[in-house]
Amino acid sequence: MKKLIMLALCLALAASCFSFGSAEEEVVYRSLYSGEIGTLNYLTTATTNEFTVSANVIDTLIEHDKYGQLVPCLAESWELSEDGLTWTFHLRKDATWVTASGEYYANVTAEDFVTAAKYILNGANASSTAWILTDYILGAEEYFDSTTPPDEGEAAPEPFGFENVGVKATDEYTVAYTTSEPCPFFLSMLDYVCYMPLNAKFLEEKGDQFGLATSNENILYCGPYILSEFKPQEIRVYSKNASYWDAEHVYIDKIQQTYNKEATTLSPEMYLRGEIDDADISAAIAAEWLADEVKSQYIHPVRQVGQYSYFWCFNFDANFDAEYEPENWLLAANNENFRLSLFYALDRVKAKTVIEPENPEDLLWDTIMPQDISVYNGTDYTDMGALAEIEVGFDEEKAIAYRDAAIPELTEAGATLPIKVLTCYNPSSTGWAEECQVVEQQMEALLGTDYIDIIIQAGPSSGFLKEIRRSGKYAFMKCNWGLDFDDPVNLTDPFKETNNYNFMIKATDPKLYDEDGTMTYYKLLAAAKAMPGNDTEARYLAFAEAEAYLIDHAIVIPYGSDTGGYTASRLNPFEGQFGATGLATCRYKGQHLLDKPMSTDDYYEAYFTWLEERDALAN
């Protein structure tokens, strides 16, 4: 009986993988999802789920091609002024806005980029990406400050006209951005949500309804797809935009995403049955499939992009329930020896085996900034200055030594041992729960349960960032940051004074402050940001010193990438847009639906072909 069932499964697999439709049939890519989006407002969001929606329905001035090069998109061409401050973009005249039903609304014009900048820089709109403009665009910070509602009892801010901001429509199809100082990495910022356009007339029509995740009619569309069907916690359907200026390079007609809170668990079997075209594959399932002659042909390695950097954070603003002893945790978090004991006790290799059992070391890096993003004269930023001396990694002897040094200090400070360490995870993320369990068992075994008590708790599948990380409802947790542009300053944002990652500005550890009461890291960061924009070497060395400080004092523990292991998909990852920053890997444009799933052999064949083609371009 078992043999008959297995034979039936094999036949079903073969049929689902190798059946071909006629050229006229609609090409549909199907998947499940478990994390719902909270907004369609691409100018305020900062979450990956929401980026993925906007990346496929709204275009940017430029985009990445499949080799990682920046190429024209809504802008056909551009130039930089002699002083290195003003970037002028000439827009294509055939890009249009359409409604959710595909009806023409307006042409995309230069004024749409001015409208978007003004919206983002209105402090009342609370854009999560406003800092990208305020940090670099001339007058943007002053305008933002002038529009930010004052706290109760504070005076109203001084007015500052938007005409003083460095975003101008010089004619109907020409937009210019002026930076406050030379910004050589400015182009790499433009493939991102905060540089997407917004039609002023539509914004006025929608008012407060603009971007609400209640209807697909609350935004306009100028990208390759239209969100033609949108029923939260039920279904999302993207349909090819027939009016799209580059429709000939959109090969998938429809993307159908069905909500299921058990998507992670159900996807593999549904994929095998041919019901969906994509599935996350856990390490346990990958091991099982790889050992099976038939199933091994349906999975391949996850492509490494380096787009997200992962690091473990110590939280300095404990807002979790009293049963987990937040005050006691803060006594521990503000003790450097305690932090260092966990820093060296974390066996990153063992933890990474959850998602990459074969080569977990390949997913690790010893800095917050990933490698191969910023390079100066052939030297990677992560190998420059103070970062070149960084030592990160499991060290049993050091972990125990720092534990023994921390115990009397914690006792004297009034802490009660063991320290309860609330560690949260998102249940919709494959392998995160298992990873936390490995960390708990490994670190408690080394340091002792009389020293730490790691408590693992599942957060919500939807709204995890808002509910847990941004609210400070954790003690010690894996966090991440997605790179927005190609420069090390990008990886300082999670740790700025107003950050909602680990709230380090509230730290009371005296070792983190200079004699004048200023946190040392922020002095180093200010010095790095003050470096001339055209002196790359000096900038990189200064940022390396600031980053090394965070690591040396165990404010965070670098962890690396989280995209290891295997995946099951009928997409070729080397066909789509590629880039370590921006929205490239979120887009479906340029990808074909394969006739059969990609195997590991197919993957490496495609990868080596991609390398050859990329190298040929470079030569």
Q: How far is CA 465 from CA 134, 150, 288, 431, in A?
A: 24, 26, 32, 18
Mean pLDDT (10-residue bins), the chain, 619 residues: 37 39 77 93 92 96 93 97 96 98 98 98 95 95 94 86 98 97 90 96 97 97 98 96 98 97 92 94 88 94 84 97 98 98 98 86 92 82 94 96 98 98 93 95 98 97 92 97 86 92 96 96 95 87 98 97 87 92 92 94 94 83
Contacts of 492 (CB under 8 A, 6+ apart): 525, 528, 543, 546, 547
Per the DSSP assignment, residues forming a β-bridge with 87 are 80, 177
Q: Which two tokens stand for residue 21?
A: 């439709």
Domains of the chain: 59-212 (3.90.76.10), 308-560 (3.10.105.10)
Closest CA to 451 of 475, 416, 477: 416
- According to DSSP, the β-strands at 308-314 and 375-376 are unpaired
Q: Which residues of 557-572 are buried (b: 16+ CB within 10 A; e: fewer)?
A: bbbbbbbbbbbbbbbb
The predicted structure's pLDDT at residue 280: 87
What per-residue confidence (pLDDT) applies to 599?
A: 94
Reading the block at residue 43, the tokens are: 């100018």
Which two structure tokens, joined as six digits, stand for 493? 């944002």
What's the CA gap between 406 and 395, in Å, rounded?
16
pLDDT for the residue 306: 67
Count Cβ atoms below 10 Å from residue 525 Cβ, excluding itself: 23
The amino acid sitting at 96 is: T
Taken in order 574, 579, 584, 590, the sign of the CA dihedral is: negative
CB atoms within 10 A of CB 76: 15
Q: Map residue 323 onto helix, strand or coil.
A: helix
Measuring CA to CA, which residue among 554, 594, 557, 556 is closest to residue 573? 594
CA distances 428 to 263, 480, 482, Å, are: 8, 16, 18
Three-class HEC string of 370-435: CCCCCEECCEEHHHCHHHHHCCCCCCHHHHHHHHHHHHHHHHHHCCCCCEEEEEEECCCCCCHHHH
Instruction: Tell me what pLDDT residue 16 has.
Output: 40
Question: Cα separation of 345 and 393, whole Å?
Answer: 8
- How far from 564 is each of 146, 347, 354, 355, 359, CA to CA, in Å? 45, 17, 9, 6, 9
Report the DSSP pairing between strands 254-259 and 28-33.
Answer: parallel
pLDDT for position 10 = 42
- pLDDT for 331: 98
Cα of 210 vs its chain's centroid, Å = 24
Q: How far apart are CA 31 and CA 279, in angstroms?
A: 7
